[in-house]
Amino acid sequence: METYFDPADLAAFGDIGKDAPELAKKFFDYYAEVFKEGELTEREKALIALAVAHAVQCPYCIDAYTRASLEKGSNLGEMTEAVHVAAAIRGGASLVHGVQMRKIAEKLSM
């Protein structure tokens, strides 16, 4: 194995069903249902997935949902803003823990 992430591995995602086919089927059925148009459009769901893909830093998901977002009709401006939303939440999640830091520091400090 030369790298941990190989783009070709994405096409083998279905192999996860080997040795546990029922669980995989339940997951993929659920997955397919989640991304169907409901209260949110397929385009909006793909944009959310793109943002989450960046938050969880999944290269497969970034590949898949960059393509999906383009094919569902999002433009680069919207996709870039979605990534900024992910960045803001990730950054904010770190920063808001500063409140804990300050509370603890205040308790320990004179």
Q: Which tokens is 9 given?
A: 């591995």
**Cα 6-12-17 angle, rounded to 5 deg:** 135
Q: Is 62 in the site for other proteins (CB under 8 A)?
A: no
Whether 64 and 93 have beta carbons less than 8 Å apart is answered as: no
Q: Which tokens is 67 given?
A: 């393509």
First vs last Cα of the chain: how many Å apart? 55
Which member of 47, 51, 54, 65 binds other proteins (CB under 8 A)?
A: 65
**How many Å apart are CA 74 and CA 79, to the nearest integer?**
7
Q: Is 100 in the site for other proteins (CB under 8 A)?
A: no
Which member of 26, 67, 84, 103 binds other proteins (CB under 8 A)?
A: 67
Q: Is 24 in the site for other proteins (CB under 8 A)?
A: no
Q: Is 101 in the site for other proteins (CB under 8 A)?
A: no
- Where does this chain bind other proteins (CB under 8 A)? 10-14, 28, 31-32, 35, 41-43, 46, 49, 60-61, 63-65, 67-68, 70-73, 75-78
